[in-house]
Structure formats: C-alpha cells, structure tokens
Structure 1
Amino acid sequence: MKTPKRIQPLVEEGLIDEVMRQLMSGKEATVYVVRCGDDIRCAKVYKEATQRSFHQAVAYQEGRRVKNSRQARAMEKGTRYGRKMAEEVWQNAEVDALYRLAAAGVRVPTPYTCFEGVLLMELVTNAEGNAAPRLNDVELSHEKALEFHAMLLREVVLMLCAGVIHGDLSEYNILVDAHGPVIIDLPQAIDAAGSSVAATMLERDVTNLANFFGAFAPELIGSQYGKEIWALYQAGLLTPDAPLTGRVALPTAPVNVGAVIHEIALARQEEEDRIRAQMEMQD
C-alpha cells in the first residue's frame, strides 16, 4: 500500500522497509502492519490532538512532568510550542510505560522505537501467525473467562507493583495471542504514586474486567478485586503472588460525596468513550 505521510520519515531513516496494510484505526491512533527487514512489526501513528476522541483529561495528565521549566510553562499556557510539548509527553507516556512494564514481566508488546510521533513495536500474533484478535472478539467459555480474568488480574498487579495503572483497560485494548491476554494502548497510563485519582482509575480498570468476564462467569460481577489490590498496595503488602479473594471489609468512615460524584463522572466518560470506540470499529 502507499506509505502514509507520517510513516515516510521512518522509511527514509531505514527503520521501515514497507507498509503492508492498515491493521486498525482507533480513538487515538491508526496502526499499520509494516516490514522491517525480515521482521513483521506494527507502526502506531498517533492522531493529532484535534482528531482524537480520547481527550487528554486532567486526570491522565496529573503526575506527568517535564524537567525543562520553559517547556512546563509553555504547556501550562497552551502556546503552540506548549501544545507540541504536551503531544510529546502524551506519546512518550506509552513508550515509557511499555519499557517499564516489559521489564517488570507484564505481557505488553515489545517496543522498538518512537520517531516523529510513530511508535514501532512488536506485532502480537495468534497461534497461526496472524494479527491477534481483541479480547472482545474471542469466544469464551465459563472456564476460559475465569482463567483469563485471573491472568489479567495478575497483570494489573504486576503493573501496579511497577508503579503503573493502565487507566483505560477494557476488552477493547487487550489482545489474545497463543499464550493468553496481552495488554495494549497505554498513552493514558497513570503513575500510581503521582496521581490523586490512581485508586479510582485502578478500580475502574478492574471493574471493567469483572463486568466483561462476568457475562461468561456471573460470579465475578460485584467482586471487589480493585479495592483489595489498592488496599494491599497502600499497605505495602502487594506482591505479584499476593493471594486475592475479591472481597474487602466494609468501610466505616463517612462517605466522601465529592469523590463519589467525581467517580460517577469518570464512569460516564468511560462509557461514552467505549460506545464511541465500538462505533469507530464498525465504520
């Protein structure tokens, strides 16, 4: 196929030899299957901020800092230069998270390089060598749903042990290869120690998993793995092999109404993004 304009610089630099086909187009990027020498990889081309349906909400930007004070001031003022810096921070967040999580043993695509707003990384494949399907396109039995749910909970725990929360985890950004689930799409990754909404985001990610797998294994509906995992993390007791029950003791402290309202707003935005993503995949 014709080389997309955004990928052309990587071809000129010798990083990509051929663009084979478009793999998918989502709310934040378009992904292409590319050939790099004898290897088949994928190139994720990030969309411009004005074209993304997933906006850089304050909740996701919190905790992301740049060392250069001039860049930080420009980002705060929203100047042209500042917007460019914000885009680089947004894109680099996924690259940094992928390297960080891969080193921690999390099942994510192997990143190779990010150049001119294009992330070159491993193409996740199924047992036949074809592009791996999304989790929402996989037929699941009751037993397989429980197995995949347990595997993904461990991945969430591994991520949190590495200080990272996905922030937008659902059946639409999980692939399934020959060995099980692989987590993708991390530009909105959250630093667990640097965000005031880290607990909310973690619980939402885990609840998304319970709701999806609950359609095949109803006993997962209403489980409290997110709260349990966060409680262990806060107590300094979270390890990759920490036993989980999905139950936590009921709180006795007064309810924080403001936090509840904030969580409802986040959930509403998540549902709107989910519906939008479904519509985009149907186009």
Structure 2
Amino acid sequence: MKTPKRLQPLVEDGLVDEVLRQLMSGKEATVYVVRSGGEIRCAKVYKDAAQRSFRQASTYQEGRKVKNSRQARAMEKGTRYGRKVAEEAWHNAEVDALYRLAAAGVRVPTPHLCFEGVLLMELVVDAQGNAAPRLNDVALSPEQAVAFHDALIEQVILMLCAGVVHGDLSEFNILVDADGPVIIDLPQAVDAAGNSEASAMLERDVDNLAFYFGQFAPALNGTQYGKEIWALYQAGLLHPGVKLTGQVAVDDTPVDVQAVLAEVEDVILEEEARQRYLQSAE
C-alpha cells in the first residue's frame, strides 16, 4: 500500500521497511501492520488532538511529569507550546506505561520506539499468526467469560501494584491471543499515587469488565472487585495472587452528627478569627 505521510519519516530512517496494510482506525489513532527489521510489527499513528474523540481531559493529565516547570506552566495556560508539550506527554504516557507494565509482567504489547507521534510495537497475533481479535469480537461461553474476567482482574492488580491505572479499560481495548487477554491502548493511563481520580478510574475499569462478562456469566453482575482492590491497595495489602471475594463490607457505624457539626463550627470560627486578624493588620 502507499506509505501514509506520518509513516514516511520512519521509512526514510530505516525504522520501517514496508507498510503492509491498515489494521484499524480508532478514536485516538490509526494502526498499520508494517515490516520492520525482518519482523511484522504494528505502527500506531496518533491522531492530532483536534481529530481525536477522546480528549486529553485535565483528569488524565494530573500527576503526569514534564521536564521542567516552564513546560508545566505552558500546559496549564494552554499556549501553543503548552499544547505541543501536552501532546508529547500524551504519546509518551503510553510508551512509559507499556515499558513499566511489561516489566511488571502485565500482558501488553512490547513497545519498540516512539518517533514523531508514531508508536512502533509488537503485533499481537492469534494461534494462526493472524492479528489478534478484540475481545468484543470473540464469542464466549460462560466458563470462558469467567476465566477471562479472572485473568483480567489479575492483570489489573499487577498494573496497580506497578502504580498504573488504565483509565479506559473495556472490551474494545483488550485483544485475545492464543494465551488469553492482552491489554492495549494506554495513552490515558494514570499514576495511581499521583492522580486524585485514580480510585474512581480503577473502579470504572473493573466495573466495565464485570458488565461485559456479566452478559455471558450473570454471576459477575453486582461484584465489587474495583472497590475491594483499591481498599487493599490503600491498606498496603495488595499483591499479585491476592484472594478476592468481589464484595466489600458496608460500614454501618452510625454517624456522629453532633461531632461533625461541632467540627464545622470550629472551622467557621477559625476562619472568622483569621479574617478579623487580616482586617486589623491592614
């Protein structure tokens, strides 16, 4: 096929030998099958921010590190330079997450390089050597659904133990190779310790899995693995292979309303005293 414009620099630099075909086009990128160094790989070409349906919300940017304070300020102000830095951070987030997760034993594609908005990585294949299908394209028996769900919960735990939350996990960004599920699409991945919304994102990721697999195995509906996993993580008790129940004990301890009101009143009095002090100092 004709070499896409965004892949031309990689061809000219000898990083890609040949572009074979387009594999898929999604909300954030177009993926091509390429020949590189004698191997068949895939090249993920990120779409420009204006073309993506998945926006770089500040929720996902929170906690991401940039090289210096100037870049951080530019990102906050949304200047042209800041938008460029944010775009680079978006691309690098996936590369960093892939290396970090692969080292932790998470089933993700092996990354090779990221150059000018193109991520060159392993092509995940099925038992016949063809490009692996997405989870939503695979017919599942109830037993397979439970097995895949259990495998993915273990992957989520491995990810969190490595300090990463996917942030957009669903049946559309999970591939199925000969050995089971492989997690893909990580540009929106967040640092579990550095993002205030990490717990909500993790719970949403896990609920997405329960909802999807619950169509095949209804016993998974209503499970609370996300809350349970995060509670163990916060308590420092989360580790690979941890035994889960899928349920979280409800705290039914009566709320001491008077104590809460007294604390609120103390805060109000402190603020009033602070304001009086500031006025007297003028």
TM-score (norm 2): 0.89
Gaps (5+ residues) in structure 2? 256-282
Question: SS of the counterpart of 2:127?
Answer: coil
Aligned-pair distance for 1:233?
0.2
Q: Per-residue CA shift, 1:7-65, capped at 9, x if unaligned?
A: 11111111000000000000000000000132000000000000000001111111112
1:164-210 residue CA offsets vs partner (Å, 9 max, x unmatched): 00000000000000000000000000100001111100000000000
Q: Which residue in the other structure is 1:81 paired with?
A: 81
Aligned to 1:183: 183
Counterpart residue identity of residue 209, structure 1: L
In structure 1, the residue matched to 2:139 is 139
- What is the distance in 2 between the residues matched to 1:254 and 1:71? 48
**Structure 1 alignment gaps of length 5 or more:** 256-283
Letter in 2 for 1:34: V
Indicate whether 1:130 and 2:130 are aligned.
yes
Which letter does structure 2 place at the counterpart of 1:169?
Answer: L
Q: Which residue of 1 aligns with 2:230?
A: 230
Q: How many Å apart are 1:107 and its aligned residue?
A: 0.1
> Which is bigger in relative contact order (C-alpha 8 A, separation at least 6)?
1
Tell me which residue corresponds to 1:221. Answer: 221
Q: CA deviation at 1:67?
A: 2.8
Is structure 2 residue 152 aligned with structure 1 residue 152? Answer: yes
User: 2:107 aligns to what?
Assistant: 107
Q: CA deviation at 1:98?
A: 0.1
Displacement of 1:253 after TM fit? 7.0
Aligned length, in residue pairs: 255
> Higher Cα Rg: structure 1 or 2?
2
In the alignment, which residue of structure 1 is the partner of 2:168? 168
Q: Give the residue type in structure 2 aligned to 1:148.
A: F
Shift of 1:140: 0.2
Mapped to 2, the partners of 1:230 and 1:253 lie a distance apart of 21
- In the alignment, the residues of structure 1 paired with residue 134 and residue 224 of structure 2 have an alpha-carbon distance, to the nearest angstrom, of 25
Within a 5 Å distance, the mapping from 1:27-38 to structure 2 comes to 27-38=27-38
Task: Give the aligned partner of residue 274 of structure 2.
Answer: none
Separation in 2, partners of 1:60, 1:224: 23
Give the secondary-structure state (helix, strand or coil) at the position aligned to 1:7: helix
- Structure 2 Cα separation of the partners of residues 44 and 111 of structure 1: 11
* Deviation of 1:254 (Å): 9.0
Distance of 2:19 and 2:209 partners within structure 1: 34
1:229 alignment partner, SS class? helix
Q: Name the SS of the counterpart of 2:6 in structure 1.
A: coil
- Provide the residue aligned with 2:55 in structure 1: 55
> What is the letter of the counterpart of residue 22 of structure 2?
Q
2:6 aligned partner: 6
Aligned partner of 2:275 in structure 1 is none
Q: Which residue is equivalent to 2:270? A: none
Indicate the residue corresponding to 2:72 in structure 1: 72
Within-5 A mapping of 1:185-264: 185-252=185-252
Aligned position for 1:266: none
Distance between the aligned counterparts of 2:254 and 2:182, measured in 1?
39
Q: Call closer, same or farther: CA 1:129–1:254 in 2, change over 3 Å.
A: farther
Output the CA distance in 2 between the equivalents of 1:78 and 1:213: 40
- The AA in structure 2 aligned to 1:166 is H
> Could you say what the CA RMSD is over the residues aligned between the two structures, in angstroms?
1.2
Query: Residue 152 of structure 2 aligns to a residue in which SS?
Result: helix
- The percent identity for this pair of structures is 78
Residue matched to 1:21? 21
Scaled by the length of structure 1, the TM-score of the pair is 0.88
Deviations 1:225-269 (A, max 9, x none): 0000000000000000100110110134799xxxxxxxxxxxxxx
* Structure 2 SS opposite 1:6: helix
Mapped to 1, the partners of 2:178 and 2:7 lie a distance apart of: 29
CA offset at residue 72 of structure 1? Answer: 1.4
**Offset at residue 222 of structure 1 (A):** 0.3
* Alpha-carbon offset, residue 77 of structure 1: 1.5
In 2, Cα distance between equivalents of 1:23 and 1:238: 37
Question: Which runs of at least 4 in structure 1 moved beyond 4 Å after TM superposition?
Answer: none
| Inter-partner Cα distance in structure 1 for 2:166 and 2:73 | 27
